[in-house]
Every structure is written in structure tokens, then in C-alpha cells.
Structure 1
Amino acid sequence: MSPWQVFALKYADRNARTRKDSFLFDDNHDQPHEMDYFIWVLRRQDEIILVDTGYDGEEGTRRGRPVRLNPVEALAPLGIEPEAVTTIIVTHLHYDHAGGLKHFPNATIHLQAAEMAFATGPCMCQGAMKAPYTADHVCEAVQRLYSGRVIFHEGDGEVREGLTVHRIGGHSKGLQAVRVLTEAGWMCLASDAAHYYENFLDAKPFPIVVDMQDMLDGFGTIQHLASSIDLVVPGHDPLVRTLFPQHGPDHIFRLDRGPLKGIRS
């Protein structure tokens, strides 16, 4: 199998946070704790696959969480035009992962069936459950369904050779992680199965959780999906920008050749 190139693109951050926003059980809840927002690009020869879309300036303004660089603009240095993207893996439908779907009109999306059912079901009557979702983003996914451009997965599924998805749950009902073959070995793009390295390395749950047992079990699953813990890439950890080399502009980081040093170094 041919390996994939993998890039992490940072498009936003939230620095006015503390550890209580990241960990349910922690002795230093009042200490600052920054968060980065990423999308990921997989490239093999002429094929491009996007993992998540981030959110745009409009959504950032609505939520009071401005973007530093709209994801569409973030893709430009890699030579990627949004109209040319035909496949997107949506790890889950939270606003910061599916908030830019409308900017990729020609894309078919890969989604867990459990996520669509959750985001359109009775749980959305509860304010705490629906807070990370935006109705327009979910409706965009439904529109793709009705136009025949959603491929559903039930648990584990293959997207391409050397590229699979795996339902984790926990943070949302149908959250999925991505396993991708790289030059460095099997890499797991954990997305929000682990917002930070500390979540899965020390079994510290993230506070936004639908099923605690699934979240805790998922910490082990994402490690088993990767060839080593150094190839598990969390969804929001600023350490990614320290561990992996910059690729051109200061918002793009290349992951597929492995980190510059181990997470435990």
C-alpha cells in the first residue's frame, strides 16, 4: 500500500481557557490551558481528502470565537481549491468540525450513521447536548444525504486503501477517529476522541461528554489504532505545533513523517 501525506492546518485558537475547560478531574483547574483548532489534509498522488472543515468567520462571530484564518484560505498554500475537494471525512458534526461544509459544494462526506441520528434526534431537545451543534451545519449534512453525497459507516469502515474510520463515541454519539497509513507507520487522527495528549495518556476525560465509558474506552482504542503513541494526533493540542515540523506557512504542519521528538521526551 502506498502511504499518505498528512498535514494539520491550524485555523483558530482559544487562549482564554483554564484546565477546568479541558479536564474533568484535575488538581490545577485554575491554570491557563490553550486550545488550537485544526483541520487535516490527506494527500496521495493526485487525490486529496479533507478531514473536517473547521468553522468560518461567520460562525466564529456568532459564537464569539473568531478564526485567525478561514479554513478555505488555510488550504490555499497547498494548492487546494474548495470546489476541487470531492471527499471529506467528518469526524462529527460539532460546529468546529463541520462548520465549513457549505464551502465544499462538490464533496461527498463520510459520517457515522450514529452521528447523524444523534444530531437530528430527540437528544437535541436538551440544551447541553445541542450546544456544540449548529442547526445550519447539520442541515447541510442532511442536504448532502438527500443529494446522495453521504457515505455512512457503522463502526469501522474503509474509505480508501490505507485509510479507515472507527467509531469511538464518548464526546458525541457518532464521533469517529481516522487511521491512515503514513511513511512513519499507522497514524491515528483522533479528532475529539482526545482533545489533548493528556486526555488519553493520563485517562483524563474532556468535560463535554455524552458517554463517559465510551470516552474512556476510546483512549485505549486510538492508541491501538496507531503504530505508536507518538503517531496519535489529538484534535486540539497546541503541542502538535511543537512536535511536528512546520510545512511552509506557519499554520501548516506535516505529520506523516512522524514527530521531531516523542511525546514522552
Structure 2
Amino acid sequence: MSETLPEYDLFAIRYAMRNAQRRDHFIGGDPHEGPMPMDYFLWVAKSPERTFVIDCGFTKEVADKRKRTFLRDPIDALKLVGVDADDVKDVIISHLHYDHVGNFHRFPVAQFHLQEPEMHYATGRYMRYPRLSHSFEVEDICGIVRLNFQQRVLFYNSSAELAPGISVHLAGGHSAGLQFVRVHTRRGWVVLAIDVSHFYENMESNRPFPTAFHVGQMLEGFDALRALAPSPAHIVPGHDPLVMSRYPAPSSDLEGIVVRLDVPPSTS
């Protein structure tokens, strides 16, 4: 008899946003110009046995520097779903762009899970090109290097099961070592696309986001999301404000801040 997989509670926490236009989110722009704001999230998967924090956002200082609207401290916001960063033992870093790794230093005992190609990319020859390096903060990268010397980074080179019901999957494309995360929940497997698809529309229209290392891998990434999800409704994009309207808040006081991804989305 096969072992029953744990069912994780799965949350998205919205901590920042920026006003943007449709042309900002598709390679080649978009013929239907208009507003298309972007949200910034981190995610939490919790079971009685284990908690994973997935990405850790950026700081207020970086928000000011990059002209993002900082809504709340993402690490303090973990407490809204019963998680204290001081106790977190596992942090999955999807990739090393500024908005996914900026608070690494706020997890004093965590092991960090990262694809090895991402470390090579962020410290390698391509960082001499501003078109690629602009999405990284140098101090974040140096910090992850230091954590590696402290034996606190676990590296992968493809798909890997981190624990029963939690797996990571190398996609590349947007960044050389971008990974997405698959989580087993009460509604089955949920695929956190993260930046494999910033918006629902990127994947649905097969039009990648403009920040690109390898466009072909970005397109294949959409296929990989679909292959690992039971249905399109089980794929959650990484920056789409629609996530906040399609999924319910855990309680009325968390409306607009936290949503549950372990229940089906609304169809409206």
C-alpha cells in the first residue's frame, strides 16, 4: 500500500504592488494598451509535520529604490498564517531576482533550497550585462554565497522531492535557474508557477514576460506547468492580482492580504 501524502495548507501573502501597463508584461508589447498592475507575493506551505516558506520578498529599502509600493513587511506577515521566521527550517528560493530573495537574512536557522544553475548565473559572466543584471541585488547574491559557505544552501540540478508532497522543478527561461514548486493539498496537487508565468495571461496566450534569459525555455516552462498540474485551475501564477480575487482569504480580516490556494478558485 502506498504511503498517503500529507495535505499542506497553502497560502499566498501579498506584500507589495506596482502600477504598470499591458506593454510591460509581454515580449513585443501588447496591442491592447491599458493598465495591468502587478502584485508581489510570497507563499507558505504548512502541514503538521513541516513548514516551507517559498520565496522571501524584498525590503522596504529596495521597494523605495525600485519605486514599488510596499504594502507590508513580508516576513512579519508570515505571522498572519501562524509562521515565525525565527523557527522556519526550510526556505525555497525560486530564483535570485530581487523580489524573491531579499529577506534571506531574516531566517536565522533555515536551510535554503536553490537550483545550482541559478547560483552560477547570478555570479557568472552574464552579470556584466545590465539588461540581465538589473533584476538582481548584489548584496542578496553575496549573502547567498555566504550562506553556502555556512552549509545552509542545498542545491538541485533538476526536479527534486524535498519532502513528501513538496517538489521543485527546474524551468529556467526567465532566469537561468528558475524553479517552480508543486504542493500536495486537500484539492490535490497545486503548481506554484512563480515566475514561470507572471500572469495567467502569459501562459494562456503563450506570450512570455519581457525579462528573459532564454525565450525557448520560457515557452517550454508553460508546457511543464501544464504537465504537472491536474488542470489549469491548479496552476497559480506568480504576480497576478487576479489571484487575490479568485481565491478566498482565510478570514475576513485578511482580505486583500492573504488567500488560501488549497481550495478551488472561483470561476468569476
TM-score bin (small chain):
over 0.9
1:10 to 7, 14, 28: 14
CA distance in 2, matches of 1:185, 1:53: 25
1:54 is aligned to: 57
1:25-64 Cα distance to aligned partner (Å, 9 max, x none): 4543531111000000000014211000001112112222
Residue of 202, 216, 221 corresponding to 2:219 = 216
Farther-moved stretch of structure 1 (22-31 vs 158-167): 22-31
Q: Provide the alpha-carbon RMSD of the alignment.
A: 1.2
- Runs of at least 4 residues off by over 6 Å: none
Match of 2:94 among 84, 91, 98: 91
Q: Give SS of 1:158's match.
A: strand
Instruction: Return the alpha-carbon distance in structure 2 between the equivalents of residues 87 and 74 of structure 1.
Output: 17
Structure 2 alignment gaps of length 5 or more: none
Cα distance in 1 for partners of 2:56, 2:249 equals: 20
Contact map agreement 1:25 1:205 (CA 8 A) in 2: no
Q: Report 1:14-93 matches (<5 A).
A: 14-15=18-19, 17-25=20-28, 27-28=30-31, 30-93=33-96
CA distance in 2: counterparts of 1:220 and 1:240, whole angstroms: 20
What is the aligned partner in structure 2 of residue 164 from structure 1?
A: 167
Give the Cα separation in 2 of the matches to 1:244 and 1:99.
26
Superposed CA offset, 1:195-231 (max 9, x none): 0001111101110000000000111111111111001
Q: How does 1:1-265 map to 2 (within 5 A)?
A: 1-15=5-19, 17-25=20-28, 27-28=30-31, 30-248=33-251, 249-250=254-255, 251-261=257-267
Q: Mark the CA change 1:119 to 1:29 in structure 2 (over 3 Å): closer, same or farther.
A: farther
Identify unmatched segments of 5+ residues in structure 1: none
Give the letter for the 2:209 counterpart.
Answer: F
Counterpart amino acid of 2:34?
A: Q
Amino acid corresponding to residue 66 of structure 2 in structure 1? R
Q: Which amino acid is 1:257 matched to?
A: V
Distance (whole Å) between structure 2 residues aligned to residue 21 and residue 32 of structure 1: 10
Task: Report which stretch shifted further, 72-81 or 38-47.
Answer: 72-81
Q: Which moved more, 1:64-73 or 1:21-30?
A: 21-30
CA distance in 1, matches of 2:61, 2:87: 23
Q: Indicate the SS of the match to 1:237.
A: coil
If the length of structure 1 is used for normalisation, what is the TM-score?
0.95
Q: Percent identity?
A: 39
Query: 1:151 offset after TM fit, Å?
Result: 0.7
Mapped to 2, the partners of 1:143 and 1:106 lie a distance apart of 14
Cα separation, 2, equivalents of 1:259 and 1:66: 26
Q: Aligned to 1:165, what secondary structure does the other structure show? A: strand
Would you say the 8 A contact 1:18–1:29 is kept in 2? no
Tell me how far apart the structure 2 counterparts of residues 192 and 252 of structure 1 sit (CA, whole Å). Answer: 19
TM-score scaled by structure 2?
0.94
SS at match of 1:180: strand
